[in-house]
Chain A
């Protein structure tokens, strides 16, 4: 056990700290209030979101290991440095880079499996926040059973003609592009008939309808494709290889949905709230039952934080077996975050039900919002029940459910 990073990382930490100090209180000229808590402060310098993104890349604090020719920083991949950057930004409340599915999922996929031409065309504008992507995976009849998707792609001449419907498509209304799973080989078996296509969202024949979720925000969309035509070359991997291409990045999404350090920040916010807020004039933190529930959650989050250190160490020290350890992250991380936000609501009681712009709202109403938002994350990206199947079948080697004929 050795939790020290070593002297070269101490210097790097100082460097990141002084960068954060410089941009403390930065606010965005085009920034909106973000209930997930990454909006800028006030009283500092101002710039646009995309200027900030460029500053982060040039300083090596974002897209660190993406080659320069594709618009990245061009540094060595260094897990510890990435961790230091994340930790220092979070500690100093310096706004992080723009995220989104293009950056989180498409860029790693392109780097791994894209052609040189695709890398040149897409990675740089995506990293710089100029090209926003949405993910076209789920369909009304292909949710947990994603591979049964039916959106059809036919090659007519040198163009794919796409017909069908996608659902749960976040950011579709702002996106320039969609990375999409489409059935191109109707005669092949379920998993072997899918291709991974790149669809410009301004193509004729695309209709986007917003889908308001329980938080009352249009967090998702339905996207309809009617005879949408795209060039034959807008495909990652070969025809019929789309399932494998998509799986390479799904794992990435599952791990990053609920990082325990972010959950611990919320625990600390809750402790602060419980010290300040009162019930019958007495601070909430003095109530034994609330206090015990708080400590139960803190114990769980500490366990997940320690677990994350173990996984980090396994990345740095290849050969360590943490297969199941990685598989449980999506399930345990999202469930715990939902539980924590729910505890804050319980602790506040009636006050905890306030929402939107109500008077007496605490912490901008983030507790109710994230409580509901995380129920969405428990369901999305592979439901908790699907996660349990994966853990049991792939992790523990338990037998699969017998297949129903024809399904």
Chain B
């Protein structure tokens, strides 16, 4: 019996983290956030792909590494820790996962091979299935997609989109196809990109099995939620580490502020909240691959619970820094915002908990 990361997984996690620390410093992230130099983002993305990230989950027969979801989760954790400004969850976890579960043999062969070889980058938009806002919606008739969908992840850099309708049918389309309009949605988190996509009679390829049941899209959403939980886990740990270091250094009333119980208790509460989240995320990732009966429940709870813990940590860690925590100077807000956006994407905690309840009734 062994519960935890394997040596390979720990190594991979550290590798991704080291790459990001070396190549995506806070200075670089600031430039990306300010939209000053778009080339920086591309370079960081290319280096990230060189680690083998795009083929992580894809079976070997299509040129991938065929690793389990826990591997993908540790990558996400490192991205959260470093507020990594690269596309990841949509193109390299959710899209492959959706295609593996919902694609016909031809569709799998076609798309998975191209994702593994980095020929295509797939942005993902499942919001209309999870919970439609602003009356958005897509309809699919005679091979043609109409309507609009919100919060498509990584749409700006995508060559293709994988979009879903209310029924959970998934459609692959060319980002450059006539009739596709991409509208940038600016969120508080400038390290990742979201867009609204309007389709005016765009030809689309329906993932075959997704018209028969919602299992394929559900599987992809579960994987995506576990990734978001892992991202928040990494980001929360980074905020705690910064807060604890700051509280040991910063002096007021002639002593380190970390010696005051008001401050040290906040730090103790943060670690007590976060520590069990590691096990929950790992366990959820493990169940996703190995325990189908528990997979849905664990993915929902990982997403909802880590989001709740992350929200509290983001607030407390900022407060421990006092006024400095509130400034752009320190840059703590990049983590705060990352955690805030993770919480809402692919279902806010209340929506996800309702799914958890339904999965056991």
Question: Which residues of B have CB within 8 Å of A402?
Answer: 255, 259
Specify which chain B residues have a CB less than 8 angstroms from the CB of A331 in the assembled complex.
268, 272
Whether a CB of chain B sits under 8 angstroms from the CB of A357 is: no
Q: Which residue of B264, B272, B279 is within 8 Å of A398 (Cβ)?
A: B264
- List B contacts of A325 (CB < 8 A): 275
Which chain A residue shows the least CB distance to B353?
A295
Interface residues of A in 261-299 (CB under 8 A from B): 271, 285, 288, 291-292, 294-296, 298-299
Chain B residues positioned under 8 Å from A385 (CB to CB)? 261, 265
Contact yes or no, A392 B267, CB < 8 A:
yes
Contacts A296-B308, A388-B265; is A328 near B4 (CB within 8 Å)?
A: no
Whether B3 lies near A1 (C-beta < 8 A) is yes
Q: Which stretch in A3-11, A41-49, A210-218 binds the other chain?
A: A3-11
Q: Are A388 and B244 in contact (CB under 8 A)?
A: no
Tell whether B278 is near chain A: CB-to-CB under 8 Å: yes
- Whether A306 contacts B283 by the Cβ 8 Å rule is yes
For residue B183, CB closer than 8 A to chain A, the reply is no
Contact A295/B271 with A398-B248, A399-B256 known, Cβ cut-off 8 Å: no
User: Are the CB atoms of A309 and B279 closer together than 8 Å?
Assistant: yes
Quote the shortest CB–CB distance from A209 to chain B (angstroms). 34
A396: B residues at CB distance < 8 A: 244, 264, 267-268, 271
- Shortest Cβ distance from B257 into chain A, in angstroms? 9
Say yes or no for B225: interface residue by CB 8 A criterion. Answer: no
Nearest neighbor of B306 in chain A, beta-carbon distance:
A303
Q: Which of B1-16 contact A (CB under 8 A)?
A: 1-6
Asked whether B298 is an interface residue with its Cβ less than 8 Å from the other chain, the reply is yes
Chain A residues near B261: list those with CB within 8 A.
Answer: 385, 388-389, 401
Query: Which B residues touch A6, using CB under 8 A?
Result: 1
Pick the residue among B255, B282, B356 that contacts A1 (CB under 8 A): B282
A295 touches B259 (CB 8 A): no
Chain B interface residue count, CB cutoff 8 Å, equals 46
The reply to whether the CB of A2 lies closer than 8 angstroms to some CB of chain B is yes
Q: Which residues of B contact A307 (CB under 8 A)?
A: 275-276, 278-280
CB contact between B268 and one of A295, A314, A388 (< 8 Å): that residue: A388
Whether A398 contacts B1 in the complex (CB less than 8 A), given A299-B304, A324-B275, A393-B264, comes out as no
- Does A304 touch B at the CB level, under 8 Å? yes
Given contacts A306-B276, A391-B271, A398-B244, contact A298 B356 (CB under 8 A): yes
A2 to chain B: closest residue by CB: B2
Q: Does A155 contact B (CB under 8 A)?
A: no
Q: Per-residue CB proximity of B328-355 to A under 8 Å, as 1/0?
A: 0000000000000000000000100110
Q: A5-B1, A306-B280 given as contacts; is B268 within 8 A of A300 (CB)?
A: no
**Chain A residues whose CB sits within 8 angstroms of the CB of B321 once the complex forms:** none
Contact of B275 (CB < 8 Å), options: A271, A292, A328: A328
* Residues of chain B contacted by A313 (CB below 8 angstroms): 1-4
The answer to whether B286 touches A296, judged by C-beta atoms less than 8 angstroms apart, is no
A369 to chain B, nearest CB (A): 26
Give the residues in chain B near A248, CB-CB below 8 Å. Answer: none
Q: How close is A285's CB to chain B, nearest CB, in angstroms?
A: 8
Chain B 259-302 interface 0/1 with A at a Cβ cutoff of 8 Å (1 = within): 11100110111011001111110110010001000000110010
Contact with B along A42-82 (1 / 0, CB 8 A): 00000000000000000000000000000000000000100
CB <8 Å contact, A300 and B305: yes
Q: A103 vs B256: C-alpha distance in the bound complex, in angstroms? A: 43
Contact indicator B280/A397 (Cβ below 8 Å): no
Chain A: how many interface residues by the 8 Å CB criterion?
Answer: 51
In this complex, what residue of A is CB-closest to B241? Answer: A396
Q: Is A188 an interface residue (CB 8 A)?
A: no
Q: Does B247 contact A (CB under 8 A)?
A: yes
Residues of B within 8 A of A309 (CB): 3, 279, 283
- Mark contacts of B139-159 with chain A using CB atoms, 8 A cut-off: 1 yes-contact digit, 0 otherwise: 000000000000000000000
Decide yes or no whether B258 CB sits under 8 A from chain A.
yes
Contact B298 A302 (CB under 8 A): yes
Does A400 lie at the interface of the complex (its beta carbon under 8 Å from any beta carbon of B)? yes
Rounded to whole angstroms, the CA-CA distance of A313 and B277 in the bound complex is: 16
Q: How far is the CA of A325 from the CA of B279 in the complex (A)?
A: 10
CB distance from A255 to the nearest CB of B (A): 14
CB of B72, distance to nearest CB on chain A (Å): 13
> Which residues of B are found within 8 Å of A332, using beta-carbon distances?
272, 276
- Judged by a CB distance under 8 angstroms, whether A320 is at the interface is yes
Q: In the bound complex, what is the Cα–Cα distance between A292 and B348 (angstroms)?
A: 12
Point out the residues of chain B lying under 8 angstroms from A295, CB to CB: 301, 304, 353-354, 356-357
Closest chain-B Cβ to A263's Cβ sits at a distance in Å of: 12
| 8 A Cβ contacts from A348-407 to B | 385, 387-389, 391-393, 395-402
Residues from chain A with Cβ under 8 Å of B268 in the complex: 331, 387-389, 391-392, 395-396
| Closest beta carbon of chain A to B347's beta carbon, Å | 13
- The verdict on B70 contacting chain A, using a C-beta distance below 8 Å, is yes
In Å, the complex CA distance between A310 and B2 comes to 8
Output the least CB separation between B258 and chain A (Å).
4
Is the CB–CB distance between A400 and B259 below 8 Å? yes
Query: With a CB–CB cut-off of 8 A, which chain A residues contact B356?
Result: 295, 298-299
Q: How far is the CB of B259 from chain A (nearest CB, A)?
A: 4
Taking a contact as CB atoms under 8 Å apart, the answer to whether B269 and A388 are in contact is: yes
* A312: interface (CB < 8 Å): yes
Q: Which chain A residues numbered 304 to 347 have a C-beta less than 8 Å away from chain B?
A: 304, 306-307, 309-310, 312-314, 316-317, 320, 324-325, 328, 331-332
Partner of A328, one of B267, B271, B308: B271
A-B pairs, 6 with minimum CB distance: A306-B279, A313-B3, A299-B305, A392-B264, A295-B353, A388-B268
B interface list, Cβ under 8 A from A:
1-6, 70, 244, 247-248, 255-256, 258-261, 264-265, 267-269, 271-272, 275-280, 282-283, 286, 290, 297-298, 301, 304-305, 308, 350, 353-354, 356-357, 360-361
A388-B269, A399-B259 are known contacts; what are 13 more A-B pairs with Cβ within 8 Å?
A1-B70, A1-B282, A292-B350, A295-B354, A302-B305, A307-B280, A310-B279, A331-B272, A332-B272, A388-B272, A396-B267, A396-B271, A398-B248
Could you pull out 26 A-B pairs where Cβ atoms are within 8 angstroms? A1-B3, A1-B70, A1-B286, A1-B290, A3-B1, A80-B1, A292-B354, A295-B304, A295-B353, A299-B301, A307-B275, A307-B276, A312-B1, A313-B3, A328-B276, A331-B272, A332-B276, A385-B265, A388-B268, A388-B269, A391-B271, A391-B272, A392-B268, A396-B264, A398-B258, A401-B260
